[in-house]
Amino acid sequence: VPLLLENQGLLDVLTEALSLSTEPVAADIPNNRSMTRWKNMASEVDLLAAAEGDVVVRIALIGKYTGLSDSYLSVIKSLKHASIEVGRELKISWVDASSLVEQTVSEEGDGGHSGAERKNAWEMVRSAHGIIVPGGFGSRGVEGKVAALKYSVPCLGVCLGFQSMVIEYCRNVLGMEGANSVEFEAETKHPVVIFMPEIDEDSMGGTMRLGSRDTSIGGGKWGQDGPSKGNEENTISYWLYDQQKKVAERHRHRYEVNPEMINKIESAGLHFTGRDAETYSRMEILELPRSVHPFYVGCQYHPEFKSRPLEPSPPFLGLLLASCGKLDNFLEVAKTSSVPSKKCRA
């Protein structure tokens, strides 16, 4: 569409009507009317669409609103942006999270799934190159999300997906039987995800932690002044975010990882490499070492809200790089190059 509008002279109309400058705006962009990058991207998308075989990357989206794909429109676009960046044609396998586990009728009216449906759902998970577990509200499908995260392929968890990663790890690595979020089980013996203390539990209107918030990225130990210096290079997120130690991302949640559980969880190997830049007590990013898992990254925030066709969201880019076997090369080049990592994605 942008190229069609350019061919029809829209830029001339806007330039004159808004008195826009036509002077050069950057060294790598001849002038502010240049569409070179967009044209190159559009050509690459056309080539990928016409290709077959090895250029396809299949991502299983484990969701609870899979009957209406527009519910995950931002997630879909972010996956597409990242797939273009890594030179792959994206194929999404829509997996209803509740179909991955046996269940009876839920409070939300889900009547369960047949054995054939469960088998088909797991086949889609097993055939995927990577898994995305996006956000959501309510208990339906959560056990399916947790179950899918046991599978050893690249995984990205967003918001509720991030919390599901913590639940899964606490249950199956730390041995906390029945570990859960108080959103789904108020009296759980192991409340690993809790209601944020500053939020009014009795009121649903205007009670979420919303908007852009800063996240500090670091490895090693954290204190009142933030992460220990120099250890951020041991994290995946630091390199995906172009070697930034602080990033701004958009939030939309009421629940958080229980701060009282952090030391125990990290001592078992799951590291919180991103925390809120105000108090360093609110968990924002988690990672497993790549020696343990090919790519296991979660974020409390919603990185999909800032993704763009020529600037894919870093966590989504990481998932796609790992899913098509390019993450090792990306990290190697990024760590030895003097240019930002977004120049090293080929």
The answer to whether residue 159 is catalytic is: yes
Residues 81, 190, 253, 302: which is the catalytic one?
A: 302
Which of 233, 207, 204 minimizes the C-alpha distance to 218? 233
The answer to whether residue 251 is catalytic is: no
State the Cα–Cα distance between residues 276 and 226, nearest whole angstrom.
Answer: 9
CB 38 within 8 A of CB 6: no
Q: What is the DSSP letter of 26?
A: B
Residues 85, 155, 159, 256: which is the catalytic one?
A: 159
* 36-41: long-range contacts, CB 8 A cutoff, minimum separation 24: 37/310, 38/2, 38/3, 38/309, 38/310, 39/3, 41/84, 41/309, 41/310
Nearest 5°: the CA angle 48, 54, 55 is 20
The number of residues making up the chain comes to 346
The answer to whether residue 85 is catalytic is: no
State the Cα–Cα distance between residues 209 and 188, nearest whole angstrom.
Answer: 23
State the Cα–Cα distance between residues 233 and 334, nearest whole angstrom.
Answer: 11
CB 40 within 8 A of CB 310: no
State the Cα–Cα distance between residues 110 and 107, nearest whole angstrom.
Answer: 7
Which of 163, 235, 213, 231 minimizes the C-alpha distance to 192? 163
Residues 155, 183, 304, 324: which is the catalytic one?
A: 304
As annotated, the active-site residues are: 159, 302, 304
